[in-house]
Amino acid sequence: MNVAVEVKAETGARELTYAQAIQEAMALAMEADERVVLMGEDIGVYGGAFQVTGNLVERFGPERVIDTPISELGGAGVAVGAAVTGLRPIFEFQFSDFATLAMEQIVNQAAKMRYMLGGAVSVPVVMRFPAGSGTGAAAQHSQSLEAWFGHVPGLKVVQPATPHDAKGLLLAAVQDPDPVMIFEHKLLYKMKGEVPEGFYTVPIGKAAVRREGRDVTIVATSIMVQKALDAAATLAGEGIDAEVIDLRTIRPMDRKTVVESVKKTSRLLCVYEGVKTLGVGAEISAMVAESEAFDYLDAPIVRLGGAETPIPYNPDLERATVPQVENILAAARDLVRGAR
């Protein structure tokens, strides 16, 4: 794969960063299917805004690793059109925020073509969005907009939280006949984790139980999964046994895994970086409230989401606008000990 890897001495397991796992997935997909092409701004010689495409242009050439003009609307439109005519494009936005310039192509074209043409065509396009705060990129380059896309029938929306899932979900997305939106948190690109060699997929629409517990269910997305796991480790020392669910896919959402967990723990805490109002946590909460798990609840459902403000540039203010481990700890303690 021409990717520098590390091997854990104690287990012999191969480790890649999140970014390396994505690059490897794209390379494998391109090797397996000549219809797979990469598109985006500065993804060629420059290697991508976050260096995720790396040297793939040298390996596959500029006809398959295509630098698009600085026009998100135009580039996304070309990718959607290419998908309809038989290719399987992977289109990279420099920042997820810039998808706002391409909503016409994503929401009105890619998401609706199969429906409007009676199933006669599919739109197998994958769009990658570097998302989230924490890099000091301020209000127009730090948003978490995945809930926008999760609201649109016809789109599938995933948020890998580990290098393993970043590779497996991307490979699953490339094989999918429908548009798949992949939101990659920018702070995860350097995260290391075990990644199997070769081609494998992670099913779209299936959550993962990252930690089993009996006292409270924490459903988290993207970078909040690791924060939830860190909080759960601290809570365990206090006698609170938290179950942590990595949602992985927000559309379609894995109702069964979440509902069964809440029936076991009787408490639900939703943690996500996007703005709290009308966010992913609202859908999780409604899903549980409308299910048989409602009768098992011993406390109100709690949502921890982003503050009602654009992301500030100041690092202390930036950190304060999104949930942190200490916020998860406080909310979980209140839920379990009955303060709410």
Write the CA distances from 18 to 73, 149, 164, 189, 288, integer angstroms.
27, 23, 8, 5, 31
Q: Which residues contact 335 (CB under 8 A, 6 or more apart)?
A: 216, 267, 269, 299, 302
| CA atoms lying within 13 Å on the CB side of residue 182 | 27
Tokens of 55: 């040297």
180-185 and 126-131 strand pairing: parallel
- For residue 156, count other CB atoms closer than 10 A to its CB: 22
The candidate with the shortest Cα–Cα distance to 228, out of 285, 304, 176, is 304
Angle at 314 between CA 313 and CA 316, to 5 degrees: 135
Interatomic CA distance for residues 310 and 139, integer angstroms: 5
Could you say which of 41, 72, 273, 318 is catalytic?
Answer: 72
Could you say which of 24, 92, 141, 164 is catalytic?
Answer: 141
> Is 72 a catalytic site residue?
yes
Q: What is the DSSP string of 1-18?
A: -----EE-TTT--EEEEH
- For residue 204, count other CB atoms closer than 10 A to its CB: 21
Please, are residues 183 and 158 in contact by the beta-carbon 8 Å criterion?
yes
> Is 151 a catalytic site residue?
no
Instruction: Please give the positions annotated as active site.
Output: 72, 141
